[in-house]
Chains A and B, each alone.
Chain A
Amino acid sequence: DTGVSQDPRHKITKRGQNVTFRCDPISEHNRLYWYRQTLGQGPEFLTYFQNEAQLEKSRLLSDRFSAERPKGSFSTLEIQRTEQGDSAMYLCASSLSTGGGNTIYFGEGSWLTVV
């Protein structure tokens, strides 16, 4: 499968613990996005990378959240000191930067449950 892959698919953690999600984008894609989706809502933008540079962060991304893309390939999203409100699906997506329109391809998401 050459789509966007995410790991783990499901994570249950106790409040206060740290969690890390990994995303492997489509191999030739230089743009990578993280979104968060809660039940009954559309995905909300969290952050965006072009190659290894993190170019935009949403105000939703509190200082407990950190994302990296060290070599411009895979990315990680870490949540420190998790809270129950962090329970959501974390979606990774990737695309090419073609100047004009570009299609964003999504992974299957990582479900986080904070208990």
Chain B
Amino acid sequence: AQSVSQHNHHVILSEAASLELGCNYSYGGTVNLFWYVQYPGQHLQLLLKYFSGDPLVKGIKGFEAEFIKSKFSFNLRKPSVQWSDTAEYFCAVSRTGNTGKLIFGQGTTLQVKP
């Protein structure tokens, strides 16, 4: 069965620090990969997605992620975080050509100190 693992459950950073959140998935076939963000009191929003092509994808708010197929990884990065990035971040995977059903990781809570 597919699974998604996020290595960091809780990350605390100061403003302007660089961010990298790890995500690994287990599935041998072709996948679509996503990062969603949930700001306090708000719904899940798509940060970025990878379907095919360039493995380095750029999303909203300065976030980017790199798909490394050989490592089954899709890590999220941001060079300089802001207090407003405080949120919960979820990595998710779906099988290409499937129902589009997403399998989520357990999430990483990011706290950015001003």
Contacts and interface: CB of A to CB of B under 8 A. Distances in A.
Contacts of A4: 43
B44 A40 contact: no
Contacts of B70: none
Interface residues of A, number: 28
A45 B103 contact: yes
Contacts of B99: 31, 48, 50, 55-56
Contact of B102 (A45, A55, A100, A108): A45
Interface string B42-72: 1111100101100000000000000000000
Contact of B49 (A31, A50, A56, A101): A101
Interface in A79-104: 91, 95, 97, 99-104
A101 B51 contact: yes
A42 B100 contact: no
Given A48-B99, A55-B99, A107 B104 contact: no
Interface string B94-108: 001101111111110
